[in-house]
Amino acid sequence: MQALQVTSLSDDLSGCQLVETVIPERQSGQVLVRVHAASLNFPDLLMTRGKYQFKPEPPFTSGMELAGEVIDADSESGFKAGDRVMGGAKTGAMAEYACVPARNLRLAPEGLDYPQAAALGAAYTTAYTALVELGGLQPGQWVLVHGASGGVALAAVDLAKTLGAKIIAATGSADKIDRINALYAPDAVIESNGRFREQVTEITGGELCDLVCDPVGGDVFDESTRCVAFGGKLLVVGFAGGRIADIATNIPLIKGFSVVGVRAGEYARRFPDRGARIAAEVSRMASAGTIRPAIDRIVPLSEWRSAFAAMDDRELVGKVILIPGDSELGD
C-alpha cells in the first residue's frame, strides 16, 4: 500500500516521502480501516519537524485523522466490516490502510461523505471542548475567534453560530476575509495584525468578549488580553503563530478574566464519559446539518507535498483532505 512516511525530521518536508509498504498488521483492540480520506492537521506538519509535543521516532506514517471503511475488527469492538468510521491516532492516517485503536473510532455521521467525516472530528471536538465544555458558552455571548481561516477556528465559528453566540472572526490574512464571511457569515470579520481592541470594543458596543478562542498565540494572545470582558475566558488552544506568550498574573486579576488551557484529546482521555458525550454531540449536529466542516481542497495523497506546503504557507481557508490510493476523490 501507499503511505506518507516521515523517514527523518526536517524543516522543509525533505524527510517525508510517499512509499510502498505493507498493510499494517492489526493487533488486538485495533480496527483495520481502509482509508478513504485523511485530514491534515497542524500537528502533522509540526511532527515532520519534531516540533510537536508528541515526538514519534522516524520512520512513521503521517496523519492523525481519517475516515474510511472497516475491514477487520475484534468481535467485541462494536465495529464490523463495512462500517463507515472516522477517528484516528497520533500517526498512521495518511496511508491506504491504518490500524486504529477501536476506542479512537466512531461511526461517521449519516449525511457526511468521507472527506467531510475526516474533516469533522479533531476540529469540532476541539472547538466544542474549548467553547462549550471549558468556556461554558451561552447564547447571545460575544466570542472572538482567532486564526479564523484555520480548521479548529472555522469549526469554532460554525459551532458558536449554531449555538446562538455573536461572533467576531479574526484573521491575520486580510485576503481571506471575504472567504471567511462567505462560509459562515459571522457578525464581523476583522484583521488581527497589530491593535484590534478598538475594533472589538466598537463591534461589541463596549462589552468586549465573553470568550476568546486563541489557536495562534504570540502577539494575538497579548492583544486578546485587552479584549476579554470581566468574568470572561481566554481559551489557549494553540501556538500556530510560533510564539508562546507570557502573561503577568495581575492582568487576569485586575480585569477579572480566566486564562483556560484547552487540551481536547487529553480531556477526552482523562474524562472518557465527557469525551464520548462531546463526540456524540458533534456527530449529532453534523447529521442534523446544523454544523458543516469547511473544506478548502481535496487532493490525492500523491500530492501531499502541495497540501502540507499550503498549510505551511497559510494559504488555506478550511481543511485540506488527502485521498489515498485509488479511492475516488470525494467518494
Ligand X SMILES: NC(=O)c1ccc[n+]([C@@H]2O[C@H](COP(=O)([O-])OP(=O)(O)OC[C@H]3O[C@@H](n4cnc5c(N)ncnc54)[C@H](OP(=O)(O)O)[C@@H]3O)[C@@H](O)[C@H]2O)c1
Does 152 engage in binding with ligand X (CB under 6 A)? yes
User: To the nearest whole angstrom, how small is the minimum distance from the Cβ of residue 171 to ligand X?
Assistant: 3
Does 262 engage in binding with ligand X (CB under 6 A)? yes
CA atoms of 119 and 123, how far apart (whole Å): 7
Cβ proximity to ligand X, 43 vs 135, nearer residue: 43
Determine the residue with CB nearest ligand X: 150
Q: Do strands 228-236 and 209-214 pair parallel, antiparallel, or not at all (unpaired)?
A: parallel
Residues in 154-173 that interact with ligand X by CB under 6 A: 171-173
Mutual angle of helices 42-49 and 304-312, in 10-degree steps: 100
Window of 36-44, 58-66, 103-111, 272-280 that interacts with ligand X by CB under 6 A: 36-44
277 burial level (CB within 10 Å; 0-12, 13-18, 19+): middle
Cα 49 to Cα 52, 123, 149, 282, 324, distances in angstroms: 8, 22, 23, 31, 23
CA atoms of 107 and 4, how far apart (whole Å): 25
Task: Build a one-symbol-per-residue string for 276-305: x at contacts with ligand X by CB under 6 A, - elsewhere.
Answer: ------------------------------
Task: Build a one-symbol-per-residue string for 209-238: x at contacts with ligand X by CB under 6 A, - elsewhere.
Answer: ------xx--------------------xx
Which three three-digit cell numbers place residue 252? 487576569
CA atoms of 275 and 291, how far apart (whole Å): 19
User: To the nearest whole angstrom, how small is the minimum distance from the Cβ of residue 173 to ligand X?
Assistant: 4
The binder of ligand X chosen from 20, 25, 242, 326 (CB under 6 A): 242
User: To the nearest whole angstrom, how small is the minimum distance from the Cβ of residue 298 to ligand X?
Assistant: 15
The binder of ligand X chosen from 21, 29, 314, 330 (CB under 6 A): 314
CA atoms of 59 and 44, how far apart (whole Å): 14
CA atoms of 318 and 154, how far apart (whole Å): 7
Instruction: Please give the single-letter amino acid code of residue 10.
Output: S
User: To the nearest whole angstrom, how small is the minimum distance from the Cβ of residue 163 to ligand X?
Assistant: 19
Which three three-digit cell numbers place residue 168? 467576531
Does 126 engage in binding with ligand X (CB under 6 A)? yes
User: How far out from the chain centre does Cα 63 lie?
Assistant: 13
Window of 30-38, 96-104, 147-155, 279-287 that interacts with ligand X by CB under 6 A: 147-155
DSSP state of 117: H
Cβ proximity to ligand X, 174 vs 254, nearer residue: 174
Does 263 engage in binding with ligand X (CB under 6 A)? yes
CA atoms of 207 and 147, how far apart (whole Å): 22
> Which residues lie near ligand X (CB under 6 A)?
41-43, 122, 126, 147-153, 171-173, 176, 215-216, 237-242, 262-265, 311, 314
